[in-house]
Structure formats: structure tokens, C-alpha cells
Amino acid sequence: MTKPITKEELWNQIKAKFYQEIGPVSFDTYIEPLIPITLTESSIILEVPADESTDIIDNWNKSYAMSFVQYAMEIAEGFIKPELRVADILPKNMPLTSENLTFTRESDLNENFTFDKFVVGTGNENAYAIARAVAEDPGRVYNPYLIYGGVGLGKTHLMQAIGNAYSKTTPSARIKYATAEDFLNDFTESLRAGEGATAAFKKEYRTVDLLLIDDIQFWSGKEKVQEEFFNTFNVLTKTGKQIIMTSDKLPTEIVDLQSRLTSRFEAGISMDIQKPDLPTRVAILKNLAESDGLTIPNDVLELIADKIDSNIRTLEGTFHRFEAMLRFRNKPATKETAQQILGDLNINQGFKITVERIQQVVADYYMQTIDDLKSTSRKKDLVTARHVAMYLTRTLTNESLPDIGRSFGGRDHSSVLHATNKITEKAESDARTKEMLDALTDEIKNGK
């Protein structure tokens, strides 16, 4: 396996392919019950429910194993052998206790997520610098440390790089990585299992040297798990242990996140990761090419990087598709070949996303003008248009809150934050609003 990926990410993507290929009935019978347990460079262990194991294993070997290998080659760019293992079962009527409860222990750090493999650029250099400082002296000054930003920008990579670096300098350190969903599931299971299991859960999460929690925005509106993490947070910080978190936005922007949690987070430091600029994207592609043993001219890498500016994950995915087609066609890595292949992949440069373009598209949609968006008018339709434009500017550009405010008639950052939160909440509760935002985003990027 050459592409860094977690077992959950790999299995979820493969499940999606199986669902499309075999339909819901066979999928629910033979694919959905499997649980990914361990992923290595060349194999993955999938756990099979004991009461269905004979039928599933028989059909898997006959019909699904080869498809899995093909799907894994497409997703992870490497050979991964699936191995089925029958789950251990408790005797019938045996209650769940702290002795037989298993927490999320498949939280090993991805060995590919290191500082050496993290490409530093203008959009992430500050977050990177703080991460290095935390890895050298955890629990001292930057505690907790929150890394926030959009999807696919390297938050998890940078967070796990801290853990990997510290594990080398301090091999005896206890390091726990879990997603916010893992933490929730473990907490829920411990409550279901009773008092002994709850104590075991607390020991699992509160006796570590580094606690890494991914995607805390998942806890939005979940009061019980927020309360539990608040207590875990207090125990760890009081004993000088380091907490590192990631989120898609600042804690103050997460809907229904307890204020006492956000105040704790603000006692540390939060750094954002922004979309990589062109030189950084080129450097990322150069690293990918070198790791795959390819020699690709800079002008070709620049062409690809110029067309993909959304996030690192999309950039890497596009490069691997480009590489596969390049090898398959046995063509030289020239700009002409790249343009032809990228055209076949339906990748176009689209429009350059600027504040002015966003304002114009939104103004046209609401039958207003850009001057109207910048005005002090409080007409209902105009206020909505202004809020939508601010929201899209916040999500589609690297502009800071103060800069956005200045672009909309000299408003302060709190006005932008209010507008962004308001539209975010509406999009989460109203499907039509989300569809409208998606349509505007597509027009801003690609035109009508």
C-alpha cells in the first residue's frame, strides 16, 4: 500500500463500490456485517460475526475477494490482501462488563504521517511550527493545541506527526489517537456495560501522555459526550498531559458546543490550515512523483497544480489518476500529454475564486448589486444575500474574518462570524438552503 489511508477510510470507500456493484440485498448480507480490525501495508483483517461466519466466508471467497483486491488497488495504489477472522463471542446471556469490553484500540498512528512528509507552505507554516514545538515539549505551553481548517488540508497528518515524533524521542510515552466518533462510541459502550466499564473507559483516556482527538465538530449538540470530554480534559491538563485536537472550524463557530469547553480550548492555542498556494501544491506533487519513482518536469507539475486548488486530498487523488493513465498509455510526461489526460479526466481550471466573483454571483442570484452587499441597508432579502456572500467567502477563500469584513463595507469580524454561523445553521437544518449553497458554489467555481 503506497497511499496513506486508515482502515476505516479504505473499508468505507470499498463498501461504497461494492454497494454500487452488487446491490443492497447482497451488500447487507455479505459486506455490511464485516468490521475492519487491522490494516498493514499489504493486508487488512476483516472481522466476521460468528453467527453468520460460514455463509459470509464461503460467499466472500467465491465472489468478493478478487473485487476487494481490485478496489483496493484503485483506492490505495497497492496490493492489499483481505483476511477474514471470525469474531470472538461472549457466552449467551453473559452481561457486558469491564473485563470483556473492548475500547477503540485500533488507534495506532499512521507511520506515514510524519513531519518529514508534511509539505510546509504559506497556508500551514504557523500550524506546523506550533506542532513541532508541541512535539518537543508536550504539555507545557501550547496545551491544548487545536488545528482547524477545511477537508483534506492535512490536519490529521500534522496532528499525528506530533505523536509520531514524540513516540521516537520518548518510546515509553502512552499516546492515544481517536476520532471524536471513536470517543463517543467508547463512552456509550462503557455506560451500557456498567460501573466497572465506565472506570475502565476513564482509565483508557485519562492516563495517557498525549491524547489526539480528530474532528471534534462531530460532538455538536451531544451534551453527554461533551461533559465527559470536559472532565477528561481537566484531568489531563491538570497533570500536565498534552491534548491535541482537530476541527473543521474554530470551537466558537461549532454549533451547540458548550461554552465551558470552548473557554478551555481558548486557554491553549488554535491554528488554522488554509488551502495550499501554487508553490506548495507543486512541492506536494514533486514529493508524490519522487516517492513513486517518477521523473516529471516542473512545468507539468505546475499545470496539474494550477488546475487543482481545492485541497491536498483532491490534488493527490488527481495526481494518482494522472499517473495511472500515464503508465497505462506509456506516454512521456509532457505538458501536451498532461493536458490531454487531464481533459479526459474532466478536470478544468474553471474560474479563479475571488471575493469579487463571489459577490457578483450572489448579487446576481438575489437580484442585487455588489454595492448593495457592501451597503448598510437592513432590508431582509439584502441581509440574507450579504450573509450568504460572507459565508461563501469564508468557505471558498483563504480570507480572514477581518479581511472579509473589510470587503463587505468595512464590517468587523464579529459580523462576519455571525453571518457565517447563521448560514451554517440554516444549511444544516434546511435541505433547500444547502442545495442553493451548493448551486452557488458550483457557479462560482465553474460558471453557469
At 142-181, the pLDDT tens digits run 999 999 987 778 899 999 999 999 999 998 889 999 988 8
Q: How confident is the model at residue 346 (pLDDT cuts 50, 70, 90)?
A: low
Mean pLDDT of 335-350: 68
Q: How confident is the model at residue 88 (pLDDT cuts 50, 70, 90)?
A: low
State if pTM tops 0.85: no
- Nearest CA among 155, 52, 82, 172 for reference residue 113: 155
Cα dihedral 123/128/131/137 (nearest 10): -140
Alpha-carbon gap, residue 1 to 257, rounded angstroms:
38
pLDDT at 96: 45
The per-residue DSSP string of 132-182 comes to: HHHHHSTTSSS-SEEEEESTTSSHHHHHHHHHHHHHHH-TT--EEEEEHHH
Alpha-carbon gap, residue 77 to 245, rounded angstroms:
29
Alpha-carbon gap, residue 307 to 295, rounded angstroms:
20
- Percent of the chain at pLDDT exceeding 90: 22
pLDDT at 316: 80
The segment with the largest mean pLDDT, out of 41-45, 48-52, 238-242, is: 238-242
Q: Is the pLDDT of residue 70 over 50?
A: yes
Work out the mean pLDDT of the chain and round it to a whole number: 83
Alpha-carbon gap, residue 282 to 402, rounded angstroms:
29
Q: Is the pLDDT of residue 341 over 80?
A: no
pLDDT at 127: 93
Mean pLDDT of 25-40: 84
- Percent of the chain at pLDDT exceeding 70: 90
Q: Is the pLDDT of residue 244 over 70?
A: yes
Q: How confident is the model at residue 102 (pLDDT cuts 50, 70, 90)?
A: low
